[in-house]
Chains A and B, each alone.
Chain A
Amino acid sequence: MSMVLELGGVRSGYGTTEVLHGVDLRVPRGTAVALLGANGAGKTTLLRTVAGLTPTRAGRILFQGAPVEHSSAHQRARAGISLVPEGRGIFRRLTVRENLLIQAGSKRADEAVAKATAFFPKLGQRLNQEAGTLSGGEQQMLALAGSLVTDADLVLADELSVGLAPIVVDEIFAALEALRAEGRSMLIVEQYVDRVLGLADYVYILHKGTVVFVGEPARCAADDIFERYLGSVA
């Protein structure tokens, strides 16, 4: 199976603090990989490092087989890595349409708007509204629409469901399913462990900056893996 993303011995962190102490991780093409771990385990740092927002201090990051650890964030985004960051990944002062235009890149702007609004009809009613005035769920849909309208091969999703009503979370997960149906590969950090396990093909568990478990969802439910690393989550 070919790998979309391959991390080998990746170290990264902020200032004098190292957060990731040599992480190995692989995302096979067309699969969804769940990345779990307690607070402070380094999940967000891992996604930021892959996207290029946090510099890689050591190790290799291969995207589609090519090393990207020295590329800047926008170069990686152009290559096909799409991070939906934690919080709300939108430009609050721009309108919904402008947000979609930026996400669509240089060409086929109308097509992109059509695709996004077809998937999230609510956005279609608010195209000329400032994105910061949308509800939390709509903002997250707009952020996710960025990955939909581009041809990004790898979607990195960081805690998309934080602070959203359960019914909105359903829509977000439906969108993730749709992305996978299109053949995109995904690396997902998520607090709703049950739901993400339903979606994921593989699970990685991160503990204090190192990978402590790799396997299929069924296997990690069987072991006492959650109790050991996530506390009482599952």
Chain B
Amino acid sequence: MKSYLPFVVIGLTTGSVYAIAAMGLVVTYSTSGVFNFAHGAVGMVGAFAFYSLTVDAGLPMGLSIPIAVLVVGPALGVVIDRVLFRRLHGTGAATYVVVSLGLLVVLQALAVAIYGPETRQMDPIFPRWTYQLPGVRVGIDQTMLVIIAALSGAALLAFFRFTRLGLYTRAVVGDPELAELKRLNSAGITRFSWMLGSSFAALAGVLLTPTLGLDSIVLTGLVIQAFAAAVVGKLTSIPKTYLGAIGLGVAASLATKLVASRPALSGLPNSLPFFILFGILVLSPKGSFPEILKAVAAPVRSRAVRAGAPRFPGALLVAAAAAAALAPAVLSGSQLFTATSVLAFVLIFSSLSLLLGLSRQISLAHAVFVVFGATTVAHLQHAGVPYLVALLAGGLIVLPVGAVLAIPAVRLSGLFLALATFAFGVLAQSLLFGTELMFGRAGIVHISRPELFGFSLGSDRAFYYFVLAVVAAGVVAVETVRVTRLGRVLRGLGDSVPATESLGVNPVVSRVLIFCLAGFLAAIAGGLEGTLTSSVNPISFGFFQSLLWVTVLVTGGMASLGGSILAALLLVAVPSVFTSPTVLDWLPVGFGAAAIVLAQTPNGLAGLVRLPDFSALATASRWRLDNLRGQERIAGAAQAGAVQ
């Protein structure tokens, strides 16, 4: 029993820091209705500000911590509220998710661009003394963290319970419009809650820095473990969130002790919060997690979106395929390699657009499909299975995964589906990527170029054409789905589930189907990409890639083939053409920012460069022609009359 006590102490400490971050998340979510995926990134910014003020500017911690927590954090909160989210009022949950993901990518990439990717170390904030409690030695720093978290939780509760501003904030949570009628400035109160929430995030970031070091990805990632605690509190209850965070911290710490002798489970402690997150979201009774934000019919500000069903992009498909077929003639070795990769990513983005663009379901686990496809091909190839069979098997093996992901898709809407898939993506990475099953003992798998029917695909050119053929087939499948009944049903479900159900449509079947199809195609693309690069390691397709892909696809355009092609070019071709480190560092910043700007557009950049609709133009000019002839006739008749 005694040997567990130190782990309980560690768990209480980490749980306390999660609690601070999670309570901040709950404050902003419950007042503004916006779940900020970038909450961890806000904490990361606070931590970097703390670092710069202390190490670069030489301020004492007694000054740098208050500035980071009480000035930088709240200021960032004001910017997020003012610049990003207020203008989205009335749009659907998917738009908010995309914008906060864009913010996450921007902040994350900015930190790397400015501070570099290496982890920096900081001196501890609190003294390193320890003291003895019955059965365990406890550090002053650990004690301080627990006290700070408990005090801030209590202060937050007291604020909401006993102060006038707290009461007003609860009123705005209940009904912002009614609060306005009761003379409350809802916008101002929402802004205040963003300041409060961001301040909590910054505090968590600052407190984590001395133990974790200053690493943008780790900080962004660790504070998002707070998501699980917030979901325990149903995203609204501060006491439950606090207790949930403490419980998660202790459970994860005890799990570390338990799995110490079982290396296969080594990923479990870190992924425990995501297990809980996924589990609660999937297993709670339907309707436990209603969206706070309701989409309202907002005025269409830009030019009117042309109504009408999407058409099969036959012309674009033929033109793109022709261009792709001719491309090897002008491309040299490394360029051909890039072009092949672009093709594979066209299929990845095209499959993602089935979820994102067609059915308006945000899936943040797309990289998992890609990884499964690649590793399956590698393992089967080693076992002597013919390449085509292995590639197909890689696609088929993710069907159960797609079906598992479809469960939250059926039960949850918008934000909560995004959260569940996010948890799933992290889970898959931390539990499976480290095992021999996925990447083998070496943590990397190799795929060699195959021979098909006695014809070697060893040359880059031959393999390019093979990839082109497979991708073209996959894209045709995607575009066919878009214009058939399944596509219509999914678009209907994206608009209104009850309305679609009332037509006798079973939403479960179509959602399971589309997740399976998207997963299948992404896995095939993963197999192709893996064969191209000839080796796959867990780092190349981490969960952060899934997030980045969403922002890139939103930028390119999530509703059409043109958008997928554009996204693939942006993600793969741009960095290989412009190879300067500056471009590589700032490119993700650009993707995130573009996703934020374009989140409200129906089809990203592809929607802005619209090809003229010749048939519509012809109809219009025919009308004008008829009109003209009619006028001539009238004029002629009038002339004839005058002559008489």
Contact = CB atoms under 8 A, between A and B. Distances in A.
Interface of A: 14-16, 51-53, 72-74, 77-78, 82-83, 85, 89-94, 98, 101-103, 105-106, 146, 150
Nearest to B178: A89
A89 B174 contact: no
Given A15-B298, A15-B300, A91-B175, A83 B181 contact: yes
Given A15-B297, A15-B299, A106-B164, A77 B183 contact: yes
B372 to A, nearest CB: 44
A155 B300 CA distance: 33
B167 A94 contact: yes
A75 to B, nearest CB: 8
Nearest to B182: A102
B312 interface: no
B180 interface: yes
Given A74-B186, A93-B174, A102 B168 contact: yes
B180 A91 contact: no
Interface string B299-314: 1100000000000000
Given A91-B175, A101-B167, A73 B299 contact: no
* 6 tightest Cβ-Cβ pairs between the two chains A and B: A73-B180, A77-B183, A91-B174, A15-B299, A74-B180, A78-B183
Interface of B: 164, 167-168, 170-171, 173-175, 177-187, 297-300
Nearest to A109: B164
A105 B299 CA distance: 33
Contacts, number: 69
A119 B297 CA distance: 40
Nearest to B168: A102
A15 B299 CA distance: 4
A94 B180 contact: no
Contacts of A74: 179-181, 183-186
A94 B299 contact: no
Nearest to A152: B183
A213 B185 CA distance: 36
5 contacts: A83-B181, A92-B174, A98-B167, A102-B179, A103-B182
A90 B182 CA distance: 10
B181 A89 contact: yes
Contacts of A106: 164
A89 B326 CA distance: 66
Contact of A51 (B167, B171, B181): B181
A150 B182 CA distance: 10
Contact of B300 (A16, A51, A94, A102): A16
Contact of A85 (B173, B181, B299): B181
Contacts of A90: 178
Contacts of A105: 183
A94 B171 contact: yes
Given A78-B183, A93-B170, 9 more contacts: A15-B299, A52-B180, A53-B180, A74-B180, A90-B178, A92-B174, A101-B164, A101-B167, A150-B183
B170 A73 contact: no
Nearest to A88: B178
Most buried by B among A78, A102, A106: A102
A168 to B, nearest CB: 21
Contacts of B167: 94, 98, 101-102
B300 A82 contact: no
Contacts of A72: 180, 185, 187
A77 B178 contact: no
Nearest to A81: B181
A198 B180 CA distance: 31
Contacts of A101: 164, 167
A14 B90 CA distance: 12
A148 to B, nearest CB: 13
A30 B410 CA distance: 56
Nearest to A73: B180
Given A15-B297, A53-B177, A94 B170 contact: yes
B299 A16 contact: yes
